[in-house]
Every structure is written in C-alpha cells, then in structure tokens.
Amino acid sequence: MTGGASSRSTSQSSRGPTPEQLDKYRRCAILHVDMDMFYVGVELLRTPQHRGKPVIVAGLGARSVVLSASYEARKFGVNSAMPLVQARAACPHAVVLEPHREDYSYYSGLVMAMFREITDRVEQLSVDEAFLDVSGAIRRLGPPVVIARRIRAEIERRTGLTASVGVAETKTVAKIASAHCKPDGLLIVEPQHTLAFLAQLPVTKLWGVGKRTAAILQGAGLTTVGDIAQTPVNRLRSLVGDAAGHHLHQLANGYDPRAVTPIREEKSLGAERTFEKDISDTAQLKRVLLGLSHDTAARLRRHGLRAERVGLKLRYADFSTISRSRTLNHPITSAHELYTESAALLDHLGPRKQSVRLLGVRAEKLAASDDALQLSLDGREEEWGAAEQAMDRVHSRFGPGMVRPAKLLDPTVPNRSAGDILDNT
C-alpha cells in the first residue's frame, strides 16, 4: 500500500544508488513501526486457537479494565481502558485472556533490538512502537521501502507478530501513515504527495487534537486536515489558542522539523499493580513489591540506566493516594536494592488504618549505567546486579519467566508468579 507512490521498490544496481537516488531516498527515510494489537498478539502466541475470534486482554477481577482488544472485538466497540464489565456487555462472546507482562517486555526487547540492527537512530515511544531514521542504512540495505519490508518480515519471522509501518518525510506523517494502513500494512507517503494525503484526513488524526479541540474545530466548520491547512493561522489561534493554532497549522501543512531522537531522557521508570481485592497484610504487600522491583530493574538494565532515588506509591481503599521517595547513597540497578529501599519506605509509613488498593515502585533520578558511579562499599549491588543479568540472559534465550525468585511463587498455584494474579490498571 502506498500514498501516491509506486508499490514497486526501486532496484539497486551492484554499484548502489546514485547520488540523486540517495538524496531522494533520504528525504523520505523516517519510519514509524507500530505493532498490531501487541498485547493480544503476544497472548495469541500462547493460545493460537483463539486467532480470528474477539479477544480481550484483561485481568479477571471486578475492577479490571481492558488492556488490549483484537480487531474482531473492536468491531463491537471494545477499546483499551474500558472497564471489563462494560466490554463484556458490548461483546459477550469475547474470549478474555489474562495478561502475561513478562512476555510483553520480552517481545518488546526483541523487536527493539531488531530495529537497532538496522539503524542506531531509534526513538522508542512505548513497548510496541518506535520511530526509525534509516537514512544512514540506505547504502547498505536499499531504499526505505525495502528496509520497511525487511523489518516487517523479520518481526513476523522471529516473533510470530505483525507490525504496520508508515514511511514518510516527517515523524507526524509517518505515524499517521502507520495507523492508516493497520493491520499488518505498509504505507509510503512520498514528499510530493504529503499535502494531498493529509488533506483528506479528519482533524482528529493530527497529534494534539483531542475530543475538546476536535469539537471546537468541527464547530467552526473545519472537519479535515485540509481545512486546517487552508485556514489562516490567526483564525486557528483565535479558536484554540496561540500555541495550538500555530502547531496545528504547521502539521496540517506537512511541516514537522523534529528529528528522530535515539535517546529519550527518562526521568523515571516504574511498575504498579491494582489489586482485585484490597490488601492489608504487610507480608503480602512486600511480596508484591518484590515482583514490581524485578519488573522495574529489568527495564533499567534494558535501557542501560541506574537509579539514584526510589519511590513508593500507595492508593488506599478510599482512593486517597500517597507517595514517598528516598535518595540513595549510590546509584542502583538491581531488583534486590529496589526492593530493599521500597520495603523500607513501606515500613516507615507505620500502621495503616485502611487496606491498600494499589501499590507501585518507581526508579527515579536516572543516569546512564556507564557514567561515573560511586559504587556500594561492600559490593552487594554489583553482586546482585550480576545475578540478575544472568537471569536476563536466561530469559533472552529461553523466554520470559523461566527464572524468578522463590518468594514470587504463588504457594496455592504451581509455577505462578505474584504478578500473574494481579490486575494492572
């Protein structure tokens, strides 16, 4: 599928592209890769018998919300973040699968590693999508459309998952293009066709246009991106404000100078759980903290980061929420240290008058792990880090969840971790 462009790839001679061809390819070398219904896709690797059926990924508790839904379920109005009770009412015959969060991290890591085999200009937006600037890979791998096809084929071959890819001159258009060709599609929007491609789209397709802004624009008779492009910027400013009006006018006219940024500054990383039933037992809460600490530490190592501060979040049964944090004497990356510090924060809260509805752990004040470090005096952080890196290698080779701390085994369910019986909202 292409946007005003030929679906045929340009053949490469043995001498490679000419300077003119290189210039043309590099003008349209930003890819937005978006995995198709990622959470559902990963769950279907475990349960392929449900392919083609309406599938909802969610915890089974009364408070659960939809994490993801298959395209078959979406036809019935099921969407992510919808309460599961409401989703079941909309699609009573849907199959509900409980989430396996270790699997999502594992497959996300595989996919992002594939991207970095292509180019070092990878800007990860979430677990299942990223921008790639492939201009530096053209001499080696061919035109961007060829690279996009290779990426899609490799993702499916190595993981069994599918992805949609938009190729364009700018990040905005590439992202719109990937959404436009879902599921399992490829759409190239060449520079000379950008304005025509954008003009036909509803205003809601532009970044920054939510329900409120869309209602204002549509109320003023501006229903398509083309309408916005042709509207004087002063009128847009009067409708939605100076900054938003200027921003929308630029995007509608295909202007987006932002480069693909390989390193996105992460201020914090974390994990949290909302419980199916409120918990008051401290030992049970600490067991959950341990699982959250391992989830967070694995993400730290995957991003090459260490934390200089640890945060704890609690939401009580009455929905009141408190947060506590402590700055550390040395940067850490191990789950053991994260757990030790977060458990101490929990203890310092003292006796609780209410049970706990939600519990979360955050690693804050992040720094690159190869920065100059003040190491722990007794070396325990390095020892725990080495042990957990060994766990990472086992998971990378044999799949997620193969090795876990004994404390995370549910005594009532063989080989089941604490994270598996909790609903993450």
Q: Specify the pLDDT at position 182.
A: 95
To which H or E segment does residue 9 belong?
none
Strand 163-168 and strand 305-316: the pairing is unpaired
Handedness of CA 165, 168, 172, 176 (dihedral sign): negative
Q: Which of 303, 293, 396 is nearest to 344 (CA)?
A: 293
34 known ligand binder? yes
Burial 393-416 (b: 16+ CB within 10 A, else e): eebeeeebbeebbeebeeeeeeee
129 is catalytic: yes
- The pLDDT of residue 390: 57
Mean pLDDT score, 165-190: 96
The residue type of 2 is T
Which has more pLDDT, 388 or 181?
A: 181
Residue of 67, 61, 84, 79 whose CA lies nearest to 425: 67
pLDDT of residue 126: 85
**CA–CA distance, 61 with 6 (Å, rounded to integer):** 50
234: how many CB neighbours lie within 10 A of its CB? 12
Residue bearing tokens 């018998």: 49
Does the pLDDT of residue 23 top 90, yes or no? no
- Alpha helix segments (H runs only) across 19-64: 19-27, 38-46
Residue 275: its H or E element:
strand 268-279
User: What DSSP string describes 80-135?
Assistant: TTSBHHHHHHH-TTPEEE---HHHHHHHHHHHHHHHHHH-S-EEEEETTEEEEE-G
Position 260 pLDDT exceeds 80? yes
Model pLDDT, residue 274: 85
Percentage of residues in the chain having pLDDT higher than 90: 58
pTM over 0.85? The answer is no
Average pLDDT, the chain: 84
Name the range with the highest mean pLDDT among 121-125, 176-180, 205-209, 324-328: 176-180
Q: What is the mean pLDDT of residues 382-397?
A: 53
Q: What is the pLDDT of residue 377?
A: 38
Distances (CA, A) of 246 to 186, 187, 208: 30, 27, 12
Take residue 163 and report the two structure tokens written for it.
Answer: 């992805």
The pLDDT value given to residue 391 = 56
What is the C-alpha separation between 273 and 157, in angstroms, rounded?
A: 33
Catalytic choice (123, 129, 337, 381): 129
Average pLDDT over residues 88-102: 94
Domains of the chain: 1-7+18-199 (3.30.70.270), 200-252 (1.10.150.20), 268-421 (3.30.1490.100)
Planar angle of CA 268, 396, 131, nearest 5 degrees: 50
Banded pLDDT at 61 (limits 50, 70, 90) = confident
Give me the pLDDT at residue 304, please.
Answer: 78
Kindly tell me if the per-residue pLDDT of 421 is higher than 90: no
Residue 305 pLDDT = 83
